[in-house]
Structure 1
Amino acid sequence: MTVYVYSVIAATHPRNLDGLTGVGPDPTALRTVRAGPLYAVVSDAPPELRPKRRDLMAHQAVQERLMADGTVLPLRFGLTAPDDDAVRAALEQRRDEYVQRLTDLEGCAEYHLKAAIDEEVLLREILRESSEARQLNDDIRAGNSSPDLPLALGELVAQEVLARHHALAAGIIEALSSHARQEHISEPTGGDFLNVSFLVGDDHRDVFLTAEKGLISELGAEFDFRLHGPLPAYSFV
């Protein structure tokens, strides 16, 4: 029977799984597979598994329940193994790595931050502060017939936007990273200029959240900050 693997925990973890069921249209009860000092939390895997909302929520519910009672190494959605013996072999093979990572993550949670800035505000700022961009814009508005001017202005603005996005992201990460044990930077998507996860210890949680709120206040209403957490430490497993 193929098994679906949710997470890895220490053998000393309470393993309170009552009331939780696994992924799939006909979910089965959760169980554990032990190898020395480690347990893997698993269930029977459905014949076909797709990232439906129901299954994503079931996967996340397991991580949150385990996280409430102790340290957990949350695995990404969709990980399966041929059977319990294969899970046990994987735990034994990576035993030292998993034990060390559980130690490193003890008393920590992940906080995921995305940020965007109002592009109209940013464009006005560029035109105000860049004499070259301002001159190109004035020439275009004055009716200069050169077809190269709009392209030149577009390229200049794109470069300025990218540079300012990078500078803003670096400044925010620097301001918050001193209150975190680690950070994991991902490529921003959509209109965001920042996509970063922080591993924050319980002893620094309040000061981290205070610092994030301070940044929101300092940077102003043209910024859109979205902070999610505490979360299982997916980015740091």
Structure 2
Amino acid sequence: MSVYVYSIVASDHPRNLDDLHGVGKPPSTLRTVKSKELSAVVSDAPEDLRPKRRDLAAHQAVQERLMADGTVLPLQFGFTTDDDEAVRAVLKERVEEFSERLTALEGCAEYHLKAAQDEDAMLRQILRESDEARALNEQIRSGSGGPDLPLALGEMVSREVEARQDRLAAQVLDGLRGFAREDRTSQPTGNDFLSVSFLVERDNEKSFVGAEHDLAKELGDDFDLRLLGPLPAYSFV
């Protein structure tokens, strides 16, 4: 049977997992694969592993328990390998890399921020501040312009939205980077203009969260900032 790998920790991590179980139905039993410097928390991997709620919850519970007792390198849900010996071989082969990353994550948690602006509010802002957009819009509304004007206005607004969102993303990042050890941006989806993870020292969490709240107030009601955390540092492994 293949092995499901949850996390990598230092060998002296307490790994207090006795009351937890792993993925699968029935739930698998957690165990540890050790090398000299590192340990990996693993279990047998079910053959029909899928991202079901119970399995996602079991995976996350392991990360949170380990995180509460020390530094952890959390693996994404669904990582499997051949057997315990394959896990041990990787721990030995990449001991320097994993140890350096554990040091980098020590005393930290991840916070993930997504940000969006109300589309209608941004459009009103563009029409209010751009003479060109306002002129095109007035021509379209009055019927005095040609048939190509709506397309021209749409393309101009699209370019302006992209430019403004880039500036807004930079403003949010500049406002919060000083409170974090590292940050990693990812491609925003939907109406979001920013998707970013911050690695925040636990002693600095209150200041970071406070800065995010202040930034949300400064931006105003037209903006939607969603902050999740503290989380296992998936984005920084």
Q: TM-score, normalised by structure 2?
A: 0.98
Amino acid at match of 1:6: Y
Counterpart of 1:122 in structure 2 is 122
> Which blocks of at least 5 consecutive residues in structure 1 are unaligned?
none
Q: Distance in 2 between matches of 1:164 and 1:173?
A: 14
Q: Is the 8 A contact 1:117 1:192 kept in 2?
A: yes
Amino acid at match of 1:101: R
Counterpart of 1:6 in structure 2 is 6
Q: How does 1:1-237 map to 2 (within 5 A)?
A: 1-237=1-237
Deviation at 1:207, TM superposition (A): 1.3
Deviation at 1:4, TM superposition (A): 0.1
Deviation at 1:144, TM superposition (A): 2.4
Q: Is the 8 A contact 1:116 1:223 kept in 2?
A: yes
Q: Distance in 1 between matches of 2:35 and 2:84?
A: 11
Q: Distance in 1 between matches of 2:145 and 2:108?
A: 60
Identity %: 65
- CA deviation digits over 1:53-100, x for unaligned, max 9? 221111111100100111000001111011000000011110001111
- CA deviation digits over 1:172-213, x for unaligned, max 9? 001100110100000000111110000001222121111111
> Which blocks of at least 5 consecutive residues in structure 2 are unaligned?
none
Amino acid at match of 1:43: S
Deviation at 1:38, TM superposition (A): 0.4
- CA deviation digits over 1:97-117, x for unaligned, max 9? 111111111100000000111
Q: Is the 8 A contact 1:180 1:201 kept in 2?
A: yes
Amino acid at match of 2:79: L
Q: Distance in 2 between matches of 1:207 and 1:223?
A: 21
Q: Is the 8 A contact 2:21 2:58 kept in 1?
A: yes
Deviation at 1:20, TM superposition (A): 1.0
Query: Which is worse superposed, 203-212 or 181-190?
Result: 203-212
- CA deviation digits over 1:21-72, x for unaligned, max 9? 1112222110000011100000000012111122111111110010011100
Amino acid at match of 2:186: S
Amino acid at match of 2:101: R
Q: Distance in 1 between matches of 2:13 and 2:28?
A: 22
Q: Distance in 2 between matches of 1:210 and 1:80?
A: 39
Deviation at 1:145, TM superposition (A): 4.8
Q: TM-score, normalised by structure 1?
A: 0.98
Q: Is the 8 A contact 2:139 2:145 kept in 1?
A: no
Amino acid at match of 1:142: S
Q: Is the 8 A contact 1:26 1:46 kept in 2?
A: no
| Equivalenced residues, count | 237
